[in-house]
Structure 1
Amino acid sequence: METYIIIFLCIASFFAGFVDAIVGGGGLIQTPVTMILLPQLPVANVIGSLKIPAFSGTSFAAFQYLKKVTMNWKLLALMAIVAFGSAFFGSYLLTKVSNDFMKPLLLVVLIGIAIYTFAKKNFGQHQEKDFSQNKQLFLAIAISIVIGFYDGFIGPGTGSFLVLAFVTVLGFDFLHASANAKMVNLATNFGSICLFVIKGKIIWAIAIPMAFCNALGGFIGAKLAIKKGNTFIRKFFLFVVILTLIRFGYDVFF
């Protein structure tokens, strides 16, 4: 493989790790870049290989959040277990079928996310927990099943969807949502990695150097998010959602 291709992939992976550490969605950067630079690869090999840098960057970002942000470990343990299994199944399905039919649906969802986030100025600025623990656990399991499957089956934007779910469904503020989302995202990535390793879909020659760069981006991004707080994360979240919207729109209409 040409050296310049690996260099471009590593640059994309660094920025993906940086963005993902703040609001998620780093896969929306490195996934299309990898597909453009390596068009001969099957989608399953691309997604499988990119799970390694995604896991690496998320790990470093999660470690930074752990030092500064309080985690709900009981809730996270349950979500991680469910998300792992759901992502494993989603990745298995990816090796069997096409996933293009999901893009129009995601386009509609993202339009709604962008409008809601822009219009609701206090969105994700404080924690609101006005439901019982049992209801919270039920909602957490549902989130883990749906987003875990999505991450294993398609992947890009998972971090953003997790942040959104923690804010809108579970009532977290953006900082705590970003921190807790990283822990669940680790589980979904690991579930996919296990499946892709079993299936032999990971190309280690690109996965390993990208993993180092993604980790560096995740380290820097997490420290910036912790320093700047909720207002900065909200603005960055909206920016990433809009870019995601443009990306999916291009896939759907062109």
Structure 2
Amino acid sequence: MIEISFDLFALLLGAAFIAGFVDAIAGGGGLITVPALLLAGVPPVTALATNKVQGLFGAGMAAITYARAGHVNLRRQIRPAILSFAGGILGALLASSLPTDLIRMGLPVLLISVALFFALKPGLDDVDKHERISPFLFSLTFVPAIGFYDGLLGPGTGAFFMLGFVSLAGYGILRATAHTKLLNFASNIGGLAGFALVVQPLWLLGLAMGAAQIAGAWLGSHLASKIGAKLIKPVLVIASSVLAIKLISEWF
């Protein structure tokens, strides 16, 4: 039984609120909540599973808020969401049998590439561009692949979804962010389902943090809907860069 003091509990709720805010805009909320859970003394695997519990609420609230603002049609995203869910659960089930340490070593390079893409590529705004692959092919290949990664490891999932929507599907920044949230929500459910088969999350703590995530996600998605790419791009670049630095620091 893990006992958490009131001070640490308050810290976790604050971390969840900030994570929900950041995640609703650009992804990367796990960069905040997972270290906070570890700081509170939660074992690593249990921390990852609990993080999936609380992350569901933030992604779900962001998806609903973007849909209400007219940036995404949730009904049309049901099939891609199912594929993202399937990828998430498969990734979580295979996490113990695949070389995740080797994959993790390449993540900083990918995240820095994502940050440079959004920071330096001209013409990235809220206007849709020409799609490079069809929506069907995008849903069939890219979506379950990123969902699988989310279940397997997780850091940077939102940024990778964003990169795909912008560079392959031709979405504008705001529309890409809106569509990312539902798919991230689905892959979180799949990842949680896979983790729950091997470890027991801290359900009550996860639910409490989830409530804070809802508040942060509501605020973040409302601001992103109003400001668009001018807010999303810098937050995405900063979140991806910080996550890359954190992963590199863990090597040493």
TM-score normalized by structure 2? Answer: 0.91
**Aligned-partner Cα distance in 1 for 2:99–2:176:** 31
Where do 1:84-103 residues align within 5 Å? 84-95=85-96, 99-103=100-104
Between 1:172-181 and 1:99-108, the stretch displaced more is 99-108
Q: 1:248 to 1:75 in 2, by over 3 A?
A: farther
* 1:193 Cα deviation from its structure 2 partner: 2.1
- Stretches (4+) displaced over 6 A: none
Q: State the Cα deviation string for residues 91-116 of structure 1 (Å, max 9, x = none).
A: 11235567322222111112222222
Gaps of 5+ in 2: none
Q: State the Cα deviation string for residues 63-116 of structure 1 (Å, max 9, x = none).
A: 110111342557622221111111001111235567322222111112222222
Secondary structure (helix, strand or coil) at the match of 1:100 reads helix
Match of 1:8 among 6, 11, 31: 11
2:111 is matched with which residue? 110
Where do 1:67-78 residues align within 5 Å? 67-71=68-72, 76-78=77-79
**Aligned-partner Cα distance in 2 for 1:124–1:37:** 40
Identity %: 29
Q: 1:113 to 1:81 in 2, by over 3 A?
A: same
**Aligned-partner Cα distance in 2 for 1:251–1:181:** 28
Q: 1:103 to 1:195 in 2, by over 3 A?
A: closer
Report the AA paired with residue 176 of structure 1: R
**Aligned-partner Cα distance in 1 for 2:22–2:34:** 13
Q: 1:130 to 1:170 in 2, by over 3 A?
A: closer
**Aligned-partner Cα distance in 2 for 1:7–1:245:** 27
TM-score normalized by structure 1? Answer: 0.90
**Aligned-partner Cα distance in 2 for 1:131–1:163:** 15
State whether structure 2 residue 125 is matched by structure 1 residue 119: no
* 1:131 Cα deviation from its structure 2 partner: 4.6
Gaps of 5+ in 1: none
**Aligned-partner Cα distance in 2 for 1:236–1:38:** 29
**Aligned-partner Cα distance in 1 for 2:225–2:35:** 28
Instruction: Output the aligned Cα RMSD.
Output: 2.0
Q: 1:220 to 1:208 in 2, by over 3 A?
A: same
* 1:15 Cα deviation from its structure 2 partner: 0.6
**Aligned-partner Cα distance in 1 for 2:74–2:214:** 23
1:169 is matched with which residue? 168
